[in-house]
Amino acid sequence: MKINYRNATIFQIIDESPSVKRYFFKFPDSDPFDFKPGQFVMLDLPIESKITNRSYSIASAPNNDNIFELIIVLNPHGLGTPHMWENFKVGDQIPVAGPLGKFTLPNQIENDLCLIATGTGIAPLRCMLHHIINQNLPHKNIYLIFGSRTFNDILYYKEMQALSSKYPYFSFVPVLSRPDEKWTGEHGYVHHVYERLFVDKRPATFFLCGWKNMIMEARERLTNMGYDKSQIKFELYD
């Protein structure tokens, strides 16, 4: 299958944590970059690899403009992300394909949404959340359960705290697997949190994103709770 790329320019890079960067891209034409919240793009990289593209979920919401944000974690054993860390700088033009993918919001949000992420898996869920808020889409309660190792690994922490203070329907629940003694929030993995929040097994749609182990376990636990496969959407990063 031939992949169509067009160049986008990096116009800002922000260090979100020691191993995670936010990259902001702009397409040269002024046509809006039209995508559905939850979709991803592929970057083509000049790396010595049979497959030279790498997929990244769009972390920003569609905004009728030609910019988008990615949030990327360094994999020191990989090929693509070390290349980005060493070479990507503001002003570079990168071949981008997409939008791609079917990990998207339903046309109508009729039930509670439970967004569950680990690491940079927060990207498409952040995009969905902002889209719902920006477009004032009808919705019920929204929960974002976010698993990280330490406090410093919680991506978009201040932003999510601010949103949960502002919107009573939105709950942000960071869960740390290796908290320090000052942490008073949830600890362990994400699973006990959604099992508790949805102990009544009320109708809900679950969006799971991140690394395989979390997603496989969550799918099994949610199915055991009685949720149907159609209510459990997921995007695997590995």
Ligand X SMILES: Cc1cc2nc3c(=O)[nH]c(=O)nc-3n(C[C@H](O)[C@H](O)[C@H](O)COP(=O)(O)OP(=O)(O)OC[C@H]3O[C@@H](n4cnc5c(N)ncnc54)[C@H](O)[C@@H]3O)c2cc1C
Footprint on residues 42-71 left by ligand X (CB under 6 A): 54-57, 70-71
**Whether residue 124 has a cis bond before it, omega within 30° of 0:** no
CB of 72 to ligand X, least distance (A): 4
For the CB of residue 210, give the shortest distance to ligand X in the complex, in Å: 9
Does residue 39 bind ligand X (CB under 6 A)?
no
Q: How far is the CB of 30 from ligand X (least distance, A)?
A: 25
- Is 13 among the residues that bind ligand X (CB under 6 A)? no
156: alpha, beta or left? (left if phi > 0; alpha if psi -120 to 50): left
- 129-132 long-range Cβ contacts below 8 angstroms, 24+ apart: 129/163, 129/170, 130/37, 130/60, 130/61, 131/37, 131/61, 131/62, 131/105, 132/105
Q: Which of residues 95-114 bind ligand X (CB under 6 A)?
A: 101
| Choice from 78, 195, 211, 225 touching ligand X (CB under 6 A) | 78
Please name which of 229, 211, 210 lies closest in space to residue 219, comparing C-alpha atoms: 229
Identity of the residue, 78 or 140, whose beta carbon is nearer to ligand X in the bound complex:
78
Q: Which residue is nearest to ligand X (CB)?
A: 78
What sign results for the dihedral spanned by CA atoms 127, 128, 132, 137? positive
Report the C-alpha gap between 64 and 43 in whole angstroms: 22
Among positions 67, 79, 97, 137, the unique one binding ligand X when judged by CB under 6 A: 79
Nearer to ligand X, 54 or 139 (CB): 54
Q: From the CB of 45, what's the least distance to ligand X, in Å? A: 7
124-183 binders of ligand X (CB under 6 A): none
* Interface pick for ligand X out of 60, 104, 118, 120 (rule CB under 6 A): 120
Task: Report the nearest approach of ligand X to the CB of residue 207 (Å).
Answer: 13
Does position 22 interact with ligand X (CB under 6 A)? The reply is no
User: Could you give the C-alpha distances from 87 to 19, 46, 91, in angstroms and in order?
Assistant: 15, 10, 11
* Three-class secondary structure of residue 133 per DSSP: helix
**Burial (CB count within 10 angstroms: exposed 0-12, middle 13-18, buried 19+), residue 23:** buried
- Give the E-state strand segments of 29-169 in sequence order: 40-44, 53-57, 67-73, 93-100, 112-118, 142-148
Q: Which two tokens stand for residue 12?
A: 């800002």
Q: How far is the CB of 166 from ligand X (least distance, A)?
A: 25
Q: Which is nearer to ligand X, 187 or 212 (CB)?
A: 212
Tell me the closest approach of the beta carbon of residue 17 to ligand X, in angstroms: 12
Indicate whether 25 belongs to the interface with ligand X (CB under 6 A).
no
Q: What residue ranges bind ligand X (CB under 6 A)? A: 40, 54-57, 70-73, 75, 77-81, 101, 120, 123, 235, 237
